[in-house]
Amino acid sequence: MYFGGDYNPEQWPEDVWLEDVRLMREAKVNLATVGVFSWARLEPSAGVCDFGWLDRVMDLLHDNDIQVNLATPTACPPPWFGLAHPDAMPVRADGTRLTHGSRDTYCVNAPAYRVASRRIATALAERYGAHPATAMWHVHNEYGTTCHCDHCATAFRAWLRDRHKSLDALNDAWTTAFWSQHYSAWEQIMPPRTTQYRSNPAHLLDYRRFCSDALLSHYREQRDILRVHGRQPVTTNYVMAGWTPLDHWKWSAEVDLVGIDHYTDEPGDGGLAQVAFAADLARSWARGKPWLLMEQGVAAMYVPDGTLPLEPGEHTRRSLEYVARGATGVLHFQWRASQGGAEQWHQGMVPHAGADSRVFREIADLGRTLSALPPAEPAEAEVAILWDDEAAWALRNPALPVAGLDFRASVEQVHRGLWQRGLATDFVHPSHDISRYRVVLMPSLYLISDEAVANLTAYVEGGGALIVSYFSGIADPDTRVRLGGYPGALRDLLGVRVEEFRPLTGPVALSDGTAGAFWSESVQLTGATATVTYADGGPAVTWHQVGAGAAWYVSTKLDASGLANVLAQAGL
């Protein structure tokens, strides 16, 4: 069981390092993530490296039985890099080119950035690949930075050629007949830069897919360099936020273990539900590989524009919940709270007050507790929720029937309902083999492929229970609406047909005594039976027997009791 966090010794004089390792030992820290933001110290000018300080840190940690999760520092290029290669600084959709001064100032498609990334990764791999302290490689930090520059435009066009093969196919997939967007040469296609009014949703979706692949190729390049010089597992840390353009199923096949950074923003039970959600996702993405909590806040919640302290003991409880759901370690951002810099007000395992503090005492207690625990065997889940980043991105389309349709929010609501009932839950991709689950839930999975529909149909025919909620199965993989009545791809499986959506402005009463909210539909039964109705008698929840199984359709946003009723109908 790993315990520790980001360790940034370059922010401190060397005498503090001695206190660090003494306190790390006291807190049973056994893994320190080092070097995440150290590029400027490691390579003070182009091609000239200074490893002396890192040699001393690595040796010191090793002498104290603390292993190192050694980072490549490519998330934070030094000032000299941006000045030498202004074309490698990221460009926002509105054309603003960013300058050095914060972090994540790079374009992953800029050739100079790729050269510099390979050079520093190679230098680190050669020097520390055989160092006894190196236990793991942490490539980059929180991949997710996107750019809209000309390098991206070139790379995007190559990616599009590969995906669509011909301009005709692209024009068709993007419905460029709308608003005079027909492309007559590849060179006319740009990243989705700021434009007069709404952008084309298919263009936006392909750009996110492209960004995921472009970032992944940067990761792979470094991983392969690191593997030449060391045998340690290689990974990176995912941001558990809705904005990231990462296809986590695809990425997780490329990492040796899944690492997540997770910052809760609710107190009490809400925070515990968030922990369960993130941990279940990480374990599911890992698909049998280990997973690790690479960062969490230290005894704090991250609320918009600041942090709030957790109640005594809450941090420990949350940390243990990650472990119970399969985490092979609990790490934090960061070991020692910074004195200056942009994150000087983020709590550390050693706070500004020092080790004589409530926070350090709780951290040290937690370290001792974890050091005595064997890894947990998470309960085998009988329930799964469908997770697809592409479907989530498609629902970030700025022009939906109403605002507020949000894949992740719908998934979290359903996951919380299962969590409240004490049901172990996995996440699965719609094309995965799901036959072992008793019940599979599909909350607002807007976009779906024909292959995934066939997979889900076979699951139900074979005896599975599928619960589909509103605004699922609406679009094809190019975000085109599936015609003939909603929910296009799932009409046959669900035995329903919907001509019109009826979004709600307030709650509506349902026949089972619960309430629907946000969304409703005029549902026609084409084989299904209504199990819950709206006040006008129209079907709100339906049930359709298919082969040896059944599929439910939920046409509104149910409250907790409404969801519990449907789960009960499905045998949970």
Q: Which residues bind ligand GAL (CB under 6 A)?
A: 141-142, 239, 261, 295, 333, 343, 346
CB of 336 to ligand GAL, least distance (A): 13
Between residues 333 and 393, which has the closer beta carbon with respect to ligand GAL?
A: 333
Where does residue 365 rank: exposed (0-12), middle (13-18), buried (19+ CB within 10 A)?
middle
Between residues 239 and 458, which has the closer beta carbon with respect to ligand GAL?
A: 239
* Beta carbons within 10 angstroms of residue 341's beta carbon: 11
DSSP notation for 34-51: E-TT-HHHH-SBTTB---
Whether residue 132 is preceded by a cis peptide bond, meaning omega within 30 degrees of 0, is: no
Task: Look at residues 206, 201, 170, 205 and name the one whose alpha carbon lies nearest to residue 185.
Answer: 170
CB of 142 to ligand GAL, least distance (A): 5
Between residues 75 and 572, which has the closer beta carbon with respect to ligand GAL?
A: 75
| CA distance linking residue 111 with residue 100, whole number of Å | 18
Kindly name the residue from 142, 362, 412, 521 that is annotated as catalytic.
142
> Could you tell me the sign of the dihedral formed by the alpha carbons of 159, 164, 167, 170, in that order?
negative
To 10 degrees, the CA torsion angle through 1, 372, 36, 283?
40
Q: To which H or E segment does residue 26 belong?
A: helix 14-26
Q: DSSP letter for 350, please.
A: B
CB of 294 to ligand GAL, least distance (A): 8
Query: Edge-to-edge, what's the strand order for the sheet holding 237-239?
Result: 234-235, 134-138, 67-71, 31-34, 2-7, 327-332, 291-296, 258-262, 237-239
Residue type, 255: V
Between residues 144 and 443, which has the closer beta carbon with respect to ligand GAL?
A: 144
Between residues 295 and 388, which has the closer beta carbon with respect to ligand GAL?
A: 295
Task: Look at residues 523, 529, 515, 522 and name the one whose alpha carbon lies nearest to residue 557.
Answer: 515
Residue 68 near residue 24, CB atoms below 8 Å: no
| CA distance linking residue 59 with residue 57, whole number of Å | 5
Residue 108: which region, alpha, beta or left (left: phi > 0; alpha: psi -120 to 50)?
Answer: alpha
CB of 331 to ligand GAL, least distance (A): 11
CB of 73 to ligand GAL, least distance (A): 12
Between residues 141 and 319, which has the closer beta carbon with respect to ligand GAL?
A: 141
CB of 37 to ligand GAL, least distance (A): 7
Q: Looking up tokens 């109908």, which residue turns up?
A: 569
Between residues 338 and 449, which has the closer beta carbon with respect to ligand GAL?
A: 338
Q: DSSP letter for 112, please.
A: H
Kindly name the residue from 295, 321, 390, 412 that is annotated as catalytic.
295
**Helices vs strands, H then E, count in the chain:** 17, 23
Q: Please say if 295 is a catalytic residue.
A: yes
CB of 262 to ligand GAL, least distance (A): 9
Residue nearest to ligand GAL (CB): 333
State the catalytic residues.
142, 295
